[in-house]
């Protein structure tokens, strides 16, 4: 059968879909992605067919624009963050995505849509076309978070473009099947009856990336290994990255820093021998050697670290990162340092606390054990194939 994946054009939205898409492909299904041209190279290098949809997001390629956006986002209220999301993810991207998907469906004819949970165009196009649509949880935002007037208004405006009635209760977003690759305790809140939970499935190697040669010595000198990253978008906020490094490099640790494929490690200046700065290292290869991760609270890196039982220090900048950070604090796996309150001293104190307080690691390992007891990708494939054939909601426990 043919299965069409859709995603917001960013690696944080695309990467969570890749393990599911590969598993479906390996099961004999024909899989393709519809998203912005920004992701064409990543999609095609991953072995998937690519269809342009949703329009371009040129600002994603502009480091200056991204840095400015991130700096502004640090000062946004929660309400402002959701208004920004509604206007851009729905009012802009979904509005462009819907006609592209309707046109594509007339020629490629998918049996099923699978969308990242922040990509709303597929939910609307699929309802219009009478094709079932599943979603994959990307980020910590829950259905209740979208239940606000701005989001509902923008969604209803896009729905009206294809003749669909208003959906004030947002029933269409999770009607058929919602896949979560985290534990129920991580997300908290109330999720729809179509929600199913699975072991974390991490994708972070889009090429032949390997550990650097020096990494073989990590952890052999009797010092904790601390890893610092701001991911693949918010790495442009170099000031935050510099402060994190300044706060940790004088500690008795081995420090690993990644600045992203699009930045030169020299941006952080000269560093002592125990500080290793690289563009990119697959975290699934690095995390087994790490004792503490300092992250921006991105959903993918945070859940990947917890899947390795790692305690965290989180500096949430924007998007769903404050929600991820708050949840990790509630679960006792992280210290959270708000970026506007961050200093080298506050980072240093948080690192010392997390490294020397056993409960952080114990709670992270509890998450790891819970997550690894969940069903794997094979069950997700089974449910998606069943949905494509039966076109009926796949209820939890069913």
| Domains of the chain, each with CATH number or no CATH | 2-199+374-390 (3.40.50.2000), 213-372 (3.40.50.2000)
Contacts 24+ apart (CB under 8 A), 214-222: 214/276, 215/256, 215/276, 215/281, 215/286, 215/289, 218/254, 218/256, 218/289, 218/290, 219/254, 219/289, 219/291, 221/254
Q: Is 315 in contact with 337 (CB distance < 8 Å)?
A: yes
* 180-211 residue pLDDT tens: 999 988 887 788 999 999 999 988 776 677 88
- All residue ranges of the chain with pLDDT < 50 are none
Burial class (CB in 10 A: 0-12, 13-18, 19+), 13: buried
Distance, in Å, from the CA atom of 274 to the CA atom of 245, rounded to the nearest integer, reads 12
In degrees and rounded to multiples of 5, residue 96 shows phi and psi of -75, -35
Confidence (pTM): 0.91
- Alpha-carbon span 319 to 34, nearest angstrom: 22
DSSP, res 166: P
Query: CA 379, CA 373: separation in Å to the nearest integer?
Result: 13
Closest CA to 337 of 367, 317, 352: 317
Nearest to 324 by CA among 74, 141, 117, 99: 141
pLDDT of residue 60: 54
pLDDT tens-digit series, residues 260-300: 887 888 888 999 999 999 988 988 899 999 999 999 998 88
Identify whether the C-beta of residue 291 lies closer than 8 Å to the C-beta of residue 108: no
Q: Which pLDDT value is given to residue 59?
A: 53
């Amino acid at each position: 059968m043919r299965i069409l994946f859709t995603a917001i054009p960013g690696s944080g939205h695309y990467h969570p879909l890749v393990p599911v898409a590969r598993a479906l492909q390996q099961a004999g299904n024909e899989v393709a992605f519809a998203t912005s041209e920004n992701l064409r190279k990543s999609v095609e290098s991953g072995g998937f067919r690519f269809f342009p949809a949703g329009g371009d997001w040129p600002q994603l390629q502009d480091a200056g624009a991204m840095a400015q956006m991130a700096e502004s986002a640090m000062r946004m209220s929660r309400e402002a963050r959701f208004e920004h999301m509604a206007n851009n993810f729905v009012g802009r991207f979904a509005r462009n995505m819907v006609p592209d998907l309707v046109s594509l469906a007339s020629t490629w004819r998918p049996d099923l849509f699978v969308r990242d949970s922040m990509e709303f165009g597929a939910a609307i196009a699929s309802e219009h076309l009478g094709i079932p649509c599943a979603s994959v949880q990307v980020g910590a935002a829950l259905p209740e978070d979208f239940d606000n007037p701005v989001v509902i208004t923008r969604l209803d405006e896009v729905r009206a473009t294809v003749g669909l009635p208003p959906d004030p209760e947002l029933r269409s977003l999770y009607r058929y099947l919602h896949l979560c690759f985290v534990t129920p305790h991580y997300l908290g809140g109330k999720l729809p009856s179509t929600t199913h939970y699975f072991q974390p499935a991490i994708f972070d190697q889009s090429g032949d990336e390997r550990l650097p040669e020096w990494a073989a010595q990590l952890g052999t000198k009797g010092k904790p290994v601390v890893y610092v990253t701001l991911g693949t978008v918010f790495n442009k906020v170099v000031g935050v990255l510099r402060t994190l490094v300044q706060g940790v490099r004088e500690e008795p640790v081995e420090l690993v820093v990644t600045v992203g494929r699009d930045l030169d490690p020299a941006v952080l200046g000269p560093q002592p021998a125990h500080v290793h700065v690289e563009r990119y290292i697959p975290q699934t290869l690095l995390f087994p050697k790490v004792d503490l991760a300092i992250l921006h609270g991105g959903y993918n890196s945070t859940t990947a670290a917890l899947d390795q039982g790692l305690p965290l220090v989180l500096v949430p900048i924007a998007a769903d990162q404050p929600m991820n950070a708050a949840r990790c604090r509630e679960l006792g796996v992280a210290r959270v340092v708000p970026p506007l309150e961050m200093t080298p001293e506050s980072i240093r104190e948080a690192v010392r606390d997390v490294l020397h307080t056993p409960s952080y690691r114990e709670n992270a390992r509890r998450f790891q054990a819970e997550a690894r007891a969940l069903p794997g990708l094979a069950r997700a494939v089974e449910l998606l194939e069943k949905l494509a054939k039966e076109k009926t909601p796949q209820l939890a426990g069913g």
